[in-house]
Structure 1
């Protein structure tokens, strides 16, 4: 059996470890053959495949990014897109099925292709940790560690000047990165998409911390909305799926905090450094285990499903379990952290 492997959507620490786990388990335990698919669904549509053996995946667990490349291509668009054309392309290359590694958009496309008769199996990926069908997604732990380290550095320069520092982290719809890194770094205010706040509320927390002799640290998710706002801040146009490219809310908050409180305030957008570099030990283990179980799922014939973390176990769940609703931060999780604010 020949299986194609692709990575789609945003890059993420741990992708290479998943690829390595799939190939090692599949070749040594199940006598499977693999091809790499370049640049996500674009490679499926164009038939851009190459042999993927143990040699190509050696030493990959510690390397960030993806050796397969990635894109945000919609497999149903273009003259060669659509399930019927893709089925012909796979048949021409004698590829029996696809393992798609990606987030909500990737899995939605995989689910649609599966419904249309293409054999697809999924591995969930998102640094935002916003997929509800898995307890944790690989890449999240690394992003939190990177953000925490950056905030620790911001704290030292903030302390030196008695400035308020605003750190903007990723999180389009959910605030897991902001919450975890903010708690770890000792933030005095954490602003997440699930909990709108007014400028007065943010400034009260900043002032409270400053009055105690602290240099305030404010952590904000890119998708955070002030009370009354209907859309997250975006001035960078749209992505390939017509979603606003977020980023810059920190630069909006910082001058307002300074104006209201009189405290000198600086903003730092951490951006794509949260996606880059080597995965953490936790993410290396999680992504490797997901890869091993994905190869087993191929042998099980678990098409139309994805592997996921439940507790400490890797299980198989239908694509639809990951779609339709996000893994948002529960209010009680935010409220328990609020004792640390101000």
Structure 2
């Protein structure tokens, strides 16, 4: 393999640049020409492809976002779009791809391989930490710490005014950010998609706290919880707890930005180099991950479809530590 290309796709995640840097410098170390593709699959279709070198990735390991930019490509979902993408890659004689992204990115890469046989190794970059085959995904640790910093600040104002705050964090199908930032922030209640916490449970826990002379409370909610968004849950609770000062904060895209943590920089670097060396050694249609501190490769199909359940001990811990 003499020429490979790297791109980022889907939602951005802190640490993607560290991964790009590792891919580029890993390829150069192994005497492989490395190309960058701007704007993900859209850029692949348009031929927005350029040769990279060691200097291209200087001073980016600490930066959030992605220097290669990212979009969600509708055209790549069509056979005609994928045909255009393959033709553009052929112009540059690209023999393999490193795809940094989440389940949508890996799904596209899997279909692309089935149609054109171009080997791809994916590096899991998503703050949701919802991909099977790796203990942690790029960006998750930074997102948790960003959420935790916000929760700590909200806790101060909640305590000053004897308020109940409902704080919504990202996690459409996954409660990983919610559970870890909730435990770290001392939340009384954490609501996640993986397990049902009813409105009655929320009200019961809040009342128990007040019976023990608690004057303020924090409820952390993953955006995909079955009971609804933080605004919806807070409105329902407020209806049943007349006179209580209840406020809502939705953290939103602040969780995607910022300098990646040390853990994310190291994880991203290991995964980027692992992706390059996987391609060189014949890996294809797989995601690279770290499981029990060991580098592993998991077929895209499994990485996307297999469940990655929350540790039930974490749910149990929230209930115990909230008393």
**TM-score of the aligned structures, taking structure 2 as reference length:** 0.94
3-state SS of the aligned residue for 1:225?
Answer: coil
CA-to-aligned-CA distance 1:291-320 (integer Å, 9 cap, x gap): 111121121121212211111111222212
CA-to-aligned-CA distance 1:9-63 (integer Å, 9 cap, x gap): 0000000000001111111x21111111111110111111122111110011110
Query: Matches of 2:118 and 2:91 in 1, distance apart?
Result: 14
Shifted more, 194-203 versus 322-331: the winner is 322-331
Tell me if the contact between 2:133 and 2:287 (Cα under 8 Å) persists in the aligned partners: no
Tell me if the contact between 1:75 and 1:109 (Cα under 8 Å) persists in the aligned partners: no
3-state SS of the aligned residue for 1:323?
Answer: helix
Structure 2: runs of 5+ lacking an equivalent: none
* Alpha-carbon offset, residue 207 of structure 1: 2.1
Tell me if the contact between 1:98 and 1:119 (Cα under 8 Å) persists in the aligned partners: yes
Query: Matches of 2:110 and 2:64 in 1, distance apart?
Result: 27
CA-to-aligned-CA distance 1:50-91 (integer Å, 9 cap, x gap): 221111100111100000000111464458512x43332211
Aligned to 1:150: 150
3-state SS of the aligned residue for 1:62?
Answer: coil
* Alpha-carbon offset, residue 4 of structure 1: 1.2
Matched, 1:257 2:256: no
Query: Matches of 2:298 and 2:78 in 1, distance apart?
Result: 30
Shifted more, 306-315 versus 156-165: the winner is 306-315
Query: Matches of 2:299 and 2:160 in 1, distance apart?
Result: 52
3-state SS of the aligned residue for 1:137?
Answer: coil
Aligned to 2:162: 162
3-state SS of the aligned residue for 1:314?
Answer: strand
Aligned to 2:85: 86
* RMSD across aligned positions (CA): 1.6
* Alpha-carbon offset, residue 201 of structure 1: 1.2
Tell me if the contact between 2:17 and 2:67 (Cα under 8 Å) persists in the aligned partners: yes
Aligned to 1:15: 16
Tell me if the contact between 1:136 and 1:309 (Cα under 8 Å) persists in the aligned partners: yes
Structure 1: runs of 5+ lacking an equivalent: 227-232, 234-248
Query: Matches of 1:41 and 1:138 in 2, distance apart?
Result: 20
Tell me if the contact between 2:143 and 2:177 (Cα under 8 Å) persists in the aligned partners: yes
Tell me if the contact between 2:188 and 2:318 (Cα under 8 Å) persists in the aligned partners: no
Query: Matches of 2:299 and 2:74 in 1, distance apart?
Result: 21
Aligned to 2:198: 198
Query: Matches of 2:75 and 2:94 in 1, distance apart?
Result: 17
Query: Matches of 2:199 and 2:322 in 1, distance apart?
Result: 15
- 1:64-79 alignment, distance < 5 Å: 64-74=64-74, 76-77=76-77
3-state SS of the aligned residue for 2:305?
Answer: coil
Work out which of the residue numbers 271, 277, 282 in structure 1 matches 2:258. 277
Tell me if the contact between 1:175 and 1:328 (Cα under 8 Å) persists in the aligned partners: no
Tell me if the contact between 1:210 and 1:216 (Cα under 8 Å) persists in the aligned partners: no
* Alpha-carbon offset, residue 332 of structure 1: 4.2
